[in-house]
Amino acid sequence: MDLTRIPGIAGSREGTKGEEAMELFEVMTTAGAIREYLDIPDSDNVLYDILDKARCAPSGGNRQPWRVLIVKDQDLRRKVRDLYSEGWKEYMAHVKKGLVPFAPAEDGTWNGPAVDLTEAAAMTTSNQYASSLHESPILLVLLARLTDLSCLDNGLNRQSIVGGGSVYPFGHNILLAARSLGLGGVMTTVICRREPEMKTLFRIPREFAVAGLITLGKPKKLFSRLTRRPVEEFAFVDVFDGVPLTH
């Protein structure tokens, strides 16, 4: 991608700020989860380009705690698929009971799984994405270096959330960059249920956590406009029970 042709970039040969915003907004509002793929020709070069844009993501103290493993080996890919499927079953066992999988309680602490995970392991079905994961044109393992995370909410006696903010913007940047190139993908986290096995499999050092997987490819279906809750439902003036923001 030629950066000098992107409107609004210093030294750019064309465009205005208005055009830049439109282009970005189009990407943001259509970069939905894509789970079925066609192959990407020259995928290493494309991936390099995507990662070269995604690396501009913000992180606490700019410590850039992310690492990415590009999984090409077929045996490793099949093992990741199998571990993902196990995590997916644990996730679905909660969903089937109407529960938010692995969510903390109202006090922000986690009281252990809300379902019998051995029952979940006995589930025989998997979903289409899980069972074809190993065939994804690009399969990435996303890692975060724990010792680089400034978790400012540590010690609050609730689920920590701040640390993830130093790695998931990078993950989403990958998806946005891919979307801007006409590619689709999804970032997934059920693999984190099998972090110990993943660390052994990929020789991941102790101070790293598995933050998720990202799969990318040419989308089999057309992109569509994303649907989300309207602003009025989550943005309030001044106080939590304040007036919803409207326009």
Structural tokens at position 29: 């509002």
Q: How far is the CB of 53 from ligand FMN (least distance, A)?
A: 19
Q: Does residue number 186 form part of the binding site for ligand FMN (CB under 6 A)?
A: yes
Nearer to ligand FMN, 47 or 190 (CB): 190
- Binding string, residues 7-46; x marks residues near ligand FMN by CB under 6 A: -------------------------xx-------------
Which of the stretches 16-24, 37-45, 92-100, 185-193 binds ligand FMN when contact is defined by CB under 6 A?
A: 185-193
- Binding string, residues 141-180; x marks residues near ligand FMN by CB under 6 A: ----------------------------------------
Q: Does residue number 226 form part of the binding site for ligand FMN (CB under 6 A)?
A: yes
Q: How far is the CB of 16 from ligand FMN (least distance, A)?
A: 29
Distances in Å between the Cα of 115 and the Cα atoms of 84, 120, 204 are 18, 8, 30
Among 126, 166, 188, 215, binds ligand FMN (CB under 6 A): 188
